[in-house]
Amino acid sequence: MPTELEDNPTSFAETALTLGGKSAEEARRTGAVDRADEQVERLFTPEHQTNRSPAHRAVWDRGVPVSEFTSTTPVVPPEVQRVMEASLAIARRHVTARTLFDSAGKVGDEVLAELAAEGYWGLLVDKDYGGSGAPFAAFAPFLGRMATIDGTVAGLASIHGCIGAVDPVQTFGTPEQRAKFLPRLASGESLSGFALTEPCAGSDLTALCTTARLEGDQYIVHGEKLFISNAALGRTVGLVCLIDERPAVLIVDLPSSESDQFQLKTYGLHALRHLHNRGLVFNGLRVPAENRLTPPRGDGLTIAYHGLNRGRVTLCANAAGSMRQLLASMIPWSKFRVTYGAAIEKRELVQRRIGELAGLIVGADSLVAWCSELLDKGYRGEMECIVAKIFGSEALKHAAIELAMKTHGGRSFLHGHPVGDNLHDFLAPCIYEGEGEMLSMSFFKSLVKQHGQTYFEPIGKTLAAAGIKNPNPLNPRHALVLARVARPYLRWQIAERLRWRTAPELPAMPAPLRRRAEFACDELQRMSREIDGTLRKFQLKLADRQCRMTELSRRCQDLIVMLCSSLYAARQSSEVVHHAAEVLGDSLRHRLANERPDNKFYRRVTQLGEAIAEGGFPGLEEIVPSEILMRY
Ligand SMILES: Cc1cc2nc3c(=O)[nH]c(=O)nc-3n(C[C@H](O)[C@H](O)[C@H](O)COP(=O)(O)OP(=O)(O)OC[C@H]3O[C@@H](n4cnc5c(N)ncnc54)[C@H](O)[C@@H]3O)c2cc1C
């Protein structure tokens, strides 16, 4: 029974599950984010909303809906394939010729124009507007391939197509707005970015200050944006600002020169150094009123959340490509570097790192395939895309520092080395598009919201109305009040306790992968009772138990990664991919169960590393090998 109930009539959703603390002001502000979230939810059909999503059902339904965790190989229309291959060839040619970057070290205008001519920027734009209408399930893994050649070129397409102007205009624009913007976004005449963050508003989106005031048929914009990727004169941005005190999105064509009304703010930024990232200062810039996007429900945050989901999947794809680059740099180096009379590729520590990295790549590949297909099926995919974002960014950080940097030793820090030169790019994904632990809390919040609203909110409200602060079932008055309102919850608890383990309906798959998938399904099903216990224990104070929320969230996420990667690997023909998924599954299980790796695991992972050093790994073919520096 409840133990820490507070006398607070505010709804469970708005208070107990907020990311902030206790004050009324915080509850109000996070309540605003909650409402925006609910508005996004209503854009989707009931069967595709969060509480019917695979991640949610895996925990709360009887039996994990395995088929919804299984991805397929996307069908890529020939015209889309042509654009993709041509774009890859351009990037490859410029990387080989060392002409990708201009004198300022940014991806050069000539490269951007060549990519535009092949249709790269229009891949996600509908055919009706001059794009090639690629399914997202084809686009996302393609960006992973592009990232094996160059992460910035891949990142630019993600910014433009997912979080920049393409997705908002295509999803929320009127026919007139689509006709106005999409053809030039598709042709690359306008490249776009997404301007949400402000000096005072990063994690806290309720602190937005930039405003737009209607004057005649124009909005007058005042305010400052910070950290905006792909921000340059003449580009287009999806600007999140306040209109009549509510978040809204204006599509803003940035002027071609600075003026009193608009300036770019430059600063040194270590991450994403091959693209422009700047602040935008608006001091009365005029924007046509017709450029305001109005979603059918909700407001500017609704629009922002929609694109961010896609961006999180392509971020994971980019991470997979970058990890392949790291792997491709480790293999020749480990063959070249001889210490104590043997190449380091023969050493267990190095073999373990290579094997572990392969596991992380398969994990990221599997999440990209899974999430992008879910989005194409019409799912909102909020929780699933968060899993992909966090896994991709954390895996890349781990790969760069623990696996690649340690293997390359001192040379990692030489100018011109793939690890040292790009270290900040490998770390920054943990922060942009939502810092990982903050997102972990969002995942948890989405996971428990329905359960909390169904069972805990009525109890809380009734007790609060009866003036009972610390309910005690032994107190007859409390027991009477509780008996009335707690019945549905007690029924749920009894049903949970009587619930038989239903074996997951797994497809035909190799036994080692099946065992890992079964483990993941069993544990996901067990999470419901543990999460329920946490809700019962902390009640409205759960908002302040951030460490517990992120820990539970992290465990659910690890299990989802284990399930997805096992299912994904099972449908690949490569044995190396199977073994990589096994290694990833074991590493996740060690973390989940606080288990020490046994000798079998070390044998498995080092043999995998040895096999990859000898025979390669799928997807390394595109990579232009990096030079070995300071040869002896
Ligand atoms: C390379 C790069 C590119 C970027 N590109 C873009 C872009 O194109 N467009 C754009 O709009 N933005 C962009 N950003 C901004 C990025 O999205 C933000 O940096 C990010 O959302 C975090 O915001 P912040 O830096 O203001 O962190 P802050 O809000 O200052 O938070 C700092 C940390 O405090 C902690 N924290 C904050 N609030 C809480 C809380 N309630 N509970 C517990 N912990 C908390 C979190 O760990 C958080 O990471 C970019 C950033 C970088 C580094």
The per-residue DSSP string of 485-523 comes to HSHHHHHHHHHHHHPPPPPP-PPS--HHHHHHHHHHHHH
Q: Convert the pLDDT of each residue in 420-463 to its tens digit.
A: 999 999 999 999 999 999 999 999 999 999 999 999 988 888 88
Ligand 1 close to Cβ of residue 227 (< 6 A)? yes
Cα 295 from Cα 293, distance rounded (Å): 6
pLDDT of res. 620: 95
Cα–Cα separations (whole angstroms), residue 434 to 86, 197, 198, 429: 32, 11, 14, 9
* Lowest-confidence pick of 80-84, 488-492, 608-612: 488-492
**Ligand 1 centroid distance, CA of 325 (Å):** 27
Is 395 in a helix, a strand, or coil? Answer: helix
* Mutational pocket test of ligand 1: of 435, 437, 544, the residue with most ligand atoms within 8 Å of the beta carbon: 435
Find how far residue 529's CA is from the centre of its chain. 27
Query: Helix and strand tally (H, E) in the chain?
Result: 22, 10
Q: Given pLDDT bands bounded at 50, 70 and 90, which one contains residue 30? A: low
Ligand 1 close to Cβ of residue 271 (< 6 A)? yes
Cα–Cα separations (whole angstroms), residue 20 to 230, 432, 442: 31, 20, 11
Query: Residues in the chain, how many?
Result: 632
Cα 315 from Cα 95, distance rounded (Å): 21
Q: Convert the pLDDT of each residue in 94-112 to its tens digit.
A: 999 999 999 999 999 999 9
Cα 195 from Cα 277, distance rounded (Å): 11
The dihedral built from the CA positions of residue 110, 116, 118 and 120, taken in this order, carries a sign that is positive
Cβ neighbours of residue 246 under 8 Å, at least 6 residues apart? 299, 300
- pLDDT at 18 > cutoff 90: no
Cβ neighbours of residue 45 under 8 Å, at least 6 residues apart? 378
Ligand 1 close to Cβ of residue 430 (< 6 A)? no
**Ligand 1 centroid distance, CA of 198 (Å):** 9
Ligand 1 close to Cβ of residue 228 (< 6 A)? yes
Q: Convert the pLDDT of each residue in 38-59 to its tens digit.
A: 878 888 999 999 999 999 999 9
- pLDDT at 504 > cutoff 70: yes
- Mean pLDDT (the chain) is 92
Q: What is the share, in percent, of the chain residues with pLDDT greater than 70?
A: 95
Q: Convert the pLDDT of each residue in 253-285 to its tens digit.
A: 999 999 999 999 999 999 999 999 999 999 999
Cα 352 from Cα 583, distance rounded (Å): 10
Which residues on adjacent β-strands are paired with residue 474? Answer: none
pLDDT of res. 305: 85
Helix or strand holding residue 343 (H, E): strand 342-343
Q: Convert the pLDDT of each residue in 122-133 to its tens digit.
A: 999 999 999 999
What is the atom index within ligand 1 of the atom nearest the CA of 230?
8
CB-CB contact of 370 with 38 (8 Å): no
Which residues on adjacent β-strands are paired with residue 286? Answer: 220
**Ligand 1 centroid distance, CA of 432 (Å):** 6
**Ligand 1 centroid distance, CA of 435 (Å):** 6
User: What per-residue string of b and e applies to 316-342 under the rule 16 or more CB within 10 Å gives b?
Assistant: bbbbbbbbbbbbbbbbebbeebeeeee
Q: Convert the pLDDT of each residue in 314-336 to its tens digit.
A: 999 999 999 999 999 999 999 99
pLDDT of res. 11: 45
